């Protein structure tokens, strides 16, 4: 579980809108993927002056240990926002959680109305009973309490459960939460993230966001505020099956919201980024811009709606990339967290290579994902050059095991 610079930015912006309480609860201890300087820079870039906090580096979480970074602790991060106490909730005392609750079963009465701000670090996507989880979250919060919940909604990072943004929207609307923001983050293998904000309509169905692109991850982030009249047990009905009476009730719930905070805007994408990972168009999801690794600018309020660069740049275009195609006729003996199929890493490679004149890359299984553990996997990439008249398809091929080998895509035909 962790709070990335993206999640940290949105937490700070929510704190700027309405200050965090003195006590914050977390679903599980969180790895904060920020150094002391990185956290200070990010907070200031959001227009907030960080509080002076005792330096405390993370020596508890597996995430910090795995990356061996000088990351600050979750207690220090929230202390930089004026929080005095951070309490972790988990189903065991894993990584030092102070409160033990099984979120698959009804919430014990002693914990009801006990939380003012709750951060859920990818719990819903790893739980068996999602409806009970949502009810428990609502019952944990005091009136005026807020939940910041982030989860994956694509089959990347081995989730147990996937829910749709509309499923989350309908629960919070039907239970009359007073403020609600839902963000979609689509990750590229190159590190930049396309950000979208979900638009609430009292009269229209929610259009689909679209399927995941290969092994690229998609995350959903919800910031919801419980009101004095909010409930927990109302079960929504999906929009396409609502009766006229259901729509009337739903519309009343939307109208009862006190006014959602404006969606924050991020950076304008470049034509090269658009070539590597194009922007989706859906009436229900407004494009908010791109977040790049290491960037801290969050003050831009210019709308990107209908105004993104033309991705018609020259250079490489990936047609297909397959990792482990030589193993498609074998029965795996070890379970992998992703699948082997033709074109399984196309979007990953495209988000790294598209638009380049020439690309040299040391193949990294951690970037591609390992569909066939314990099996030597080849890598085949088909590509062309967008600026060539009568462009021809080129092929680059690395025999197994491709991981660690040098992949070169150039105008010279490669056929190893």
Q: Residue 351: its pLDDT value, please? A: 96
For residues 352 and 340, give the distance between their C-alpha atoms in angstroms, rounded to a whole number: 20
User: Domains in the chain and their CATH numbers?
Assistant: 2-291 (3.40.50), 316-409 (no CATH)
Instruction: Write the Ramachandran bin of 18: left for phi over 0, alpha for psi from -120 to 50, otherwise beta.
Output: beta
For residues 131 and 18, give the distance between their C-alpha atoms in angstroms, rounded to a whole number: 28
CA nearest to 124, candidates 148, 99, 96:
148
Contact status, residue 322 vs residue 370, Cβ threshold 8 Å: no
Q: Residue 296: its pLDDT value, please? A: 55
Contact status, residue 296 vs residue 45, Cβ threshold 8 Å: yes
Buried b (16+ CB within 10 A) or exposed e, 11-26: bbbbbbeeebbeebbb
3-state SS class at 133: helix
Q: Two tokens at 328?
A: 């498609």
For residues 76 and 55, give the distance between their C-alpha atoms in angstroms, rounded to a whole number: 7
3-state SS class at 186: strand
Q: Residue 306: its pLDDT value, please? A: 58
Look at the pTM and tell me if it is higher than 0.75: yes
Q: Residue 255: its pLDDT value, please? A: 86
Contact status, residue 33 vs residue 71, Cβ threshold 8 Å: yes
Block means of pLDDT (10 residues each) for the chain, 416 residues, are 90 96 95 94 95 92 76 96 95 82 93 96 92 97 97 90 95 95 95 94 91 92 95 95 94 82 89 94 94 64 66 92 93 87 96 96 95 94 92 94 97 64
Q: Residue 303: its pLDDT value, please? A: 56
């Amino acid at each position: 579980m962790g709070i990335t610079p993206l999640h940290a930015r949105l937490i700070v912006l929510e704190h700027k809108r309405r200050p965090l309480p003195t006590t914050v609860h977390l679903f599980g201890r969180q790895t904060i993927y920020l150094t002391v300087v990185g956290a200070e820079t990010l907070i200031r870039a959001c227009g907030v002056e960080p509080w002076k906090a005792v330096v405390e580096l993370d020596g508890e979480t597996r995430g910090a240990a795995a990356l061996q970074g000088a990351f600050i602790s979750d207690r220090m991060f929230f202390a930089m926002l004026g929080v005095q106490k951070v309490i972790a909730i988990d189903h065991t005392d894993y990584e030092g959680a102070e409160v033990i609750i099984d979120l698959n079963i009804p919430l014990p009465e002693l914990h009801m109305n006990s939380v003012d701000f709750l951060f859920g670090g990818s719990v819903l996507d790893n739980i068996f009973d999602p409806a009970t989880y949502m009810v428990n979250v609502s019952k944990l919060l005091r009136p005026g309490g807020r939940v910041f919940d982030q989860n994956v909604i694509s089959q990347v990072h081995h989730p147990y459960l996937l829910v749709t943004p509309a499923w989350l929207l309908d629960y919070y609307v039907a239970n009359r939460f007073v403020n609600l923001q839902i963000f979609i983050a689509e990750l590229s293998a190159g590190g930049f993230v396309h950000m979208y904000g979900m638009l609430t309509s009292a009269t229209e169905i929610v259009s689909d966001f679209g399927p995941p692109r290969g092994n690229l991850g998609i995350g959903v982030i919800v910031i919801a505020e419980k009101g004095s009249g909010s409930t927990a047990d109302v079960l929504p009905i999906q929009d396409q099956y609502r009766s006229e009476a259901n729509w009337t009730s739903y519309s009343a719930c939307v109208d009862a919201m006190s006014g959602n905070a404006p969606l924050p805007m991020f950076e304008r994408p470049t034509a090269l980024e658009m070539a590597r990972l194009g922007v989706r168009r859906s009436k229900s999801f407004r494009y908010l811009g791109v977040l790049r690794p290491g960037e801290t600018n969050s003050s831009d309020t210019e709308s990107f709606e209908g105004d993104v660069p033309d991705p018609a740049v020259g250079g490489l275009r990936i047609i297909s990339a397959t990792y482990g195609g030589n193993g498609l006729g074998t029965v795996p003996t070890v379970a992998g967290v992703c699948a082997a199929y033709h074109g399984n890493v196309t979007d990953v490679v495209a988000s790294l290579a598209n638009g380049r004149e020439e690309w040299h890359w040391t193949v990294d299984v951690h970037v591609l994902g390992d569909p066939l553990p314990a099996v030597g996997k080849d890598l085949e990439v088909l590509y062309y050059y967008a600026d060539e008249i009568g462009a021809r398809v080129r092929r680059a091929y690395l025999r197994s095991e491709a991981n660690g080998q040098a992949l070169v895509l150039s105008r010279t035909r490669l056929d190893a």
